[in-house]
Each structure stands twice: as C-alpha cells, then as structure tokens.
Structure 1
Amino acid sequence: MFIGIFLIITWLVLLVRYPAKAFPISLATLFGLSLVGLWVVWLDNREANQLARLELRLNYAPEQCPADRPLRVSLNNGNKVPLVELQWRVAAYAPGDTANLAQNLYSAPRYRGPGELQAGAQWQDCLPMPPLRSGYRPQTLEFRAEHLQGSFSN
C-alpha cells in the first residue's frame, strides 16, 4: 500500500514539475491500462456467456443411481467450443423457498464435470448428495447447481 501511494505521489510530482515529458507518457500508460482492462472484461463476459449456454440439471433419482450417489446430473454443452473443465456447488431448496438447505461444509463433496465435453455433447452421471440441514428429506427438495466455474478451449 505504501509503495502504491509513493508511486502516485512521485507521478504527481513529475507531472507538475515536468509536464511536457510526463503528460504524453501518462496518456500512453493510461491508454495501455485501459486496453488491458477492456481485454479482461471481454474475457470475463465471454466466459459468463459460455457458462450460461450450459444446461445443467440435477435430480434426486435413487431408482436410477446407486445408493451412495443418488443425485443424477445431466449436462448439455450448448456452446460451439468444447468444455475443458467445470466445477460447481449443489444447492437444495424447498419448493417456493429461497433458503439454501444444503450445508456447504469443508467436508462436503466437490462436484466436477466430465473433463472435456465436446460442443453439443451430453453427459450424465450420479453424484453424492450434499449434507442437508436436519429435518429435510431429499425427495421434497429441488437441487440446483450454483457458483459454476469452468473453462473452454479456444
């Protein structure tokens, strides 16, 4: 923090003392930083749009899955590029409620996608249940994937 303050004060002194030399360099620096900022924002928006095109559904399906992994996940990659990596957290909600009933503890299972999933491809698997708050049964809850983080190939 002190280094940043020192750099700003030094830049202001140079700008006041040598305006003919410092002003063009300051404009070039500002232009370069603006380009880097725009590039980062563009990449972030592109990734958010690609994650929005993924169709990820979670269902409690003990009849279709093993007893230790009763949560069925279906993933459809609606992008034009392959999905390289995907991870998320599972949230559980009572119908019509907004309180997350899944306990996201450190010991809770980590949910990851299939690895590489080609454009337009589908993937299904069974996953373990997250720990739920006491008094709630999984049959009565809606499960959603939240905090998606992923990467796509270029």
Structure 2
Amino acid sequence: MNIGQASRASGVTAKMIRYYDEIGLVRPSARTESNYREYGERELNELRFIRRARGLGFSMEEITRLLSLWRDRDRPSREVKAIADKHIADLEARIAEMQAMVGTLRHLSHCCAGDDRPDCPILADLTGGTAPSEPRPRTRRG
C-alpha cells in the first residue's frame, strides 16, 4: 500500500510517517521502481505501535527503545517494565506539579476581586509579587 493508505490504516499522518522514516524510527519501507514507499503489515504494526506509545505520552527516545525491544523476540520483559515504570513516575511527578499549579491559580483567582479595579493579585503574582493570604472583600464602586 502507498503512504496515504498506510496513513489511513495506521492513524498516523503521512507527514509523521515520513518523519519517522527520516529519523530511522521505522525501518525503511520497500520502494517501487518510481521510488515511492510501499507499506505492508509489518510497517503498519510499527506505525500503530508508535501511535499508541505517543498517545500514552512516551518520549521519542522511549519509543525508540520500546520499539527495539518489541522487535527483539528474545528481550527480557524487565527492560520493558523498567521503561514503563520510569514513565509512570515521570507522569505522576508532572501530575503533582500540575495539581500544585491548579492550587496556586485557584488561590489567586479566589483572592482576585474580579471587578472594575485595576489591582489584581493574579498579575501581581505573575510579576513576582506575592498573593494576599485572604481574599479582599468585593465591593461595588459607585
């Protein structure tokens, strides 16, 4: 099949297929006499593997290693598990960082009057100021 058909069958864009081929992530596909790439089941399986790994947030370096292990039928599964466990730890750390960001932003938003006045603890914090510890009363300007 050609690159368009492989793209539809794998869910990977033709542009990304070309990129993966260029960086050596996928093994070079066969070429026709007119130098067009041809894709078979092996390449489709690799492209689906890459798409799923990217969907799980693995880095290109991790995907390269996982793909290499997947191709090696004599691999020890402990190497695959080690990569997955490290990725889990990285994801959990990122989640914790994001939850801390949400907490900070929630506090800043709570402290902001959100009225017509120009002073804003959110902007103050972004410029290196400190956020107030208690929300200011929301008063109407008359």
Higher strand share: 1
TM-score normalised by length of structure 2: 0.42
Q: Which has the higher contact order (CA 8 A, sep 6+)?
A: 1
